[in-house]
Amino acid sequence: MSANTDRYETAAARYFEAWNATEPEALKKAVAAAWTADGGYTDPLADVRGHEGVAAVIAAAHEQFPGFVFRPLGTVDGHHDTARFGWELVSEDGAAPVAGFDVVTLDEEGRIRQVLGFLDRVPQGA
């Protein structure tokens, strides 16, 4: 495994740690560890910048889908300062009503500058 592969996988692991944090203080710390201070998150439902904006989007997802966790689908792939990976939102019984694909750009330290998210599977009315 190359250093760059480690870098992409580490960034994705921190990303999922943030998305799976449910307690406010843990969420705040996880977002700060994963994103740059002015980092952004954009998907069809959100377009925010900064730690507070990213944390608010994550908290809203947990409000809409309580008890669900985000897990990676497949492997993390990347080149230069860009990585991509699939994910799904899974309930305790294993149902995964939401799935998507994200492309992230990283800074020199491997923290996220920007996420461009795509929703591949979304439940009706969500």
pTM over 0.95: no
**Predicted local distance difference test score (pLDDT) of residue 40:** 98
Cα 113 to Cα 4, 64, 109, distances in angstroms: 17, 26, 10
Q: What is the pLDDT of residues 68-120, one digit of tens each?
A: 999 999 999 999 999 999 999 999 999 999 999 999 999 999 999 999 999 99
Q: What is the pLDDT of residues 19-78, one digit of tens each?
A: 999 999 999 999 999 999 999 999 999 999 999 999 999 999 999 999 999 999 999 999
Burial of 115 (0-12, 13-18, 19+ CB in 10 A): buried
